[in-house]
A and B are shown apart, each in its own frame.
Chain A
């Protein structure tokens, strides 16, 4: 009997229908999201972008950069979660993407630190 190991580390026998065992590992579609929901999400993204641009024109002092970064992160996660369907898809896809992202942020933050980028 040949066996196979899934991404979650669970061992399965050859021929066994794993869809009956690990529903979380199987990608399932966003049945709750309709076309108009996507239009609404796009509208929110547009408003956030408009707020970002407006913030860059307002004198916010030291608050400007954190505000812009937070709005950027919200837009980033919204597109990844809803438009790229990460929210309803198998968790392994989120792991693959966010692992690459956090690795990049970590590596380059360390590299920038060595060049005294964050020094006042």
Chain B
């Protein structure tokens, strides 16, 4: 995957004495500059930022795959101590799952608003998304607190360690997403987003939806399928 990062001097025909700066820049040539509101041309016609984000999300599948597999392997390794059947509060976790799903909707509405160059609604939807994410995170912290009070510490058994690691990693991803959302809202307020604003918001959206997708898997495999 390569950008058309050929210097104008390199594009000059061999033996040509014409100064490079006087040559017409061909279509598709990337001068390496971000033009506000303009597409960033690449030789593939695809956004490199977007390619990098999808590659990153593909690699994240491997990270969460490892954590989920470890949990599946160890979820019955708990002797006679507390297990999922005694601990899980399905109605409560379902409510937090609804909240995270709704945050995906508000995120996509934010991306749509950014594509329409509607800054006000973009900021509004991103803020609502961050708030819903915060609510989900608060629910997770509450759930962890309840489990800890019930006697399930991080090192109680292999089940507890793998559960806290998996759900904790997901929570950390949600936290990073909230920070990115709020940072973007702040930058939009100060008009400090350079380049294609819609693409910047879309990248954060991709990350946020991925976090939602991971929760869809965790919710089913960890909470709903009986141990």
Give A residues with C-beta under 8 Å from B: 2, 4, 6-7, 12, 14-19, 22, 25-27, 29, 35, 38-39, 41-42, 45-46, 49-50, 52-53, 55-57, 64-65, 68-69, 71-72, 75-76, 79-80, 82-85, 90, 92-93, 96-101, 103-105, 107-108, 111-112, 115, 117
Contacts and interface: CB of A to CB of B under 8 A. Distances in A.
B97 to A, nearest CB: 6
A83 B208 CA distance: 10
A49 B98 contact: yes
Given A46-B101, A100-B62, A38 B51 contact: no
A45 B101 contact: yes
A6 B69 contact: no
A7 B105 CA distance: 31
Contact of A112 (B27, B45, B69, B102): B69
Contacts of A7: 1, 44, 46
Interface of B: 1-2, 4, 6, 10-11, 26-29, 43-47, 50-51, 54-55, 57-62, 64-66, 68-69, 72-73, 90-91, 94, 97-98, 101-102, 104-105, 107-109, 112, 115, 202, 205-206, 209-210, 212-213, 216-217, 219-221, 224-226
Contacts of B47: 27
Given A18-B43, A83-B108, A117-B72, A68 B225 contact: yes
B26 A18 contact: no
A24 B206 CA distance: 21
Given A2-B11, A6-B44, A12-B43, A104 B65 contact: yes
20 contacts: A15-B11, A18-B28, A25-B44, A25-B45, A25-B46, A41-B105, A42-B101, A64-B225, A79-B209, A79-B212, A79-B213, A79-B216, A82-B108, A100-B58, A104-B61, A104-B65, A104-B66, A105-B65, A107-B65, A108-B65
Contacts of B212: 79, 83
Contacts of B97: 49
Contact of B57 (A6, A83, A85, A100): A100
Given A6-B44, A79-B216, A104 B62 contact: yes
